[in-house]
A = this chain, B = another copy of it.
Amino acid sequence: MKNQPTPLPTSREQPILSLNAFTGARAALAPDIAALVERRVRSFGAGSVLFYDEPLKIVRAEGAYLHASDGRAYLDFYNNVPTVGHCHPKVVEAVQRQIGAFNIHSRYLFDIAHDYAEKLLATFPPALSNVVLTCTGSESNDLALRLAARTSGGTGFIVTRTAYHGNTAAVTEVSPSSYKRGGPPAHVRVVPAPDPALFGNDVAQGFTDAVSAAIAGMEADGIRFAGLLVDTIFSSDGVFADPPGFLQGAVDVAHAAGGLFIADEVQPGFGRTGAGLWGFSRHGVEPDIVTLGKPMGNGYPVAGVVTRPEILSDFCADFGYFNTFAASPVATAAAMAVLEAIEQDGLVANAERVGRHLAGRLRHLQGRTPITAVRGAGLYLGVEFGTQDGPAPDIAKGLINGLKQRGILIGAAGQYGNVLKIRPPLCVTTTHADQLVEAIEDVLAAG
A320 touches B168 (CB 8 A): no
Per assembly, the copies of the chain total 2
A104 touches B58 (CB 8 A): yes
B47, B104, B143: the one within 8 Å of A321 (CB): B47
- What are the interface flags for A347-360 relative to B under an 8 Å C-beta threshold, 1 for contact and 0 otherwise? 00000000000000
Q: How far is the CA of A169 from the CA of B17 in the complex (A)?
A: 24
A179 touches B319 (CB 8 A): yes
B139 touches A168 (CB 8 A): yes
Give the contact-size bracket for chain A.
35 or more
Tell me the chain A residues, 98-127 only, with Cβ under 8 Å from chain B: 99-105, 107-111, 113-114, 117-118, 121
- What are the interface flags for A31-66 relative to B under an 8 Å C-beta threshold, 1 for contact and 0 otherwise? 001001101101111110111000111111100001
A272–chain B nearest beta-carbon distance, Å:
15
A288–chain B nearest beta-carbon distance, Å:
14
B45 touches A109 (CB 8 A): no
Check A37/B109 contact, CB under 8 A, given A114-B43, A139-B168, A313-B45. Answer: yes
Residue of B nearest to A68 (CB): B108
Is A79 among interface residues, defined by CB-CB distance under 8 A? yes
Tell me the chain A residues, 314-353 only, with Cβ under 8 Å from chain B: 315-325, 327-331
Residues of B within 8 Å of A118, CB to CB, are: 39, 43
Residue of B nearest to A136 (CB): B135
Residues of B within 8 Å of A269, CB to CB, are: none
A23–chain B nearest beta-carbon distance, Å:
13
Check A109/B331 contact, CB under 8 A, given A86-B102, A321-B167. Answer: no
Interface centre among A47, A104, A167, A172 (most CB of B within 10 A): A47
Is A129 among interface residues, defined by CB-CB distance under 8 A? yes
A-B contact pairs, 30 of them (CB 8 A): A33-B109, A40-B113, A40-B117, A43-B117, A43-B129, A45-B312, A46-B130, A46-B315, A47-B312, A47-B316, A49-B322, A50-B107, A51-B107, A58-B108, A59-B102, A59-B110, A61-B101, A61-B102, A86-B104, A87-B101, A95-B99, A96-B99, A137-B324, A139-B139, A139-B167, A139-B168, A142-B142, A169-B169, A170-B170, A181-B318
The 10 closest A-B pairs by CB, nearest first: A61-B102, A45-B130, A46-B313, A43-B117, A46-B316, A169-B170, A301-B325, A103-B299, A301-B301, A57-B109
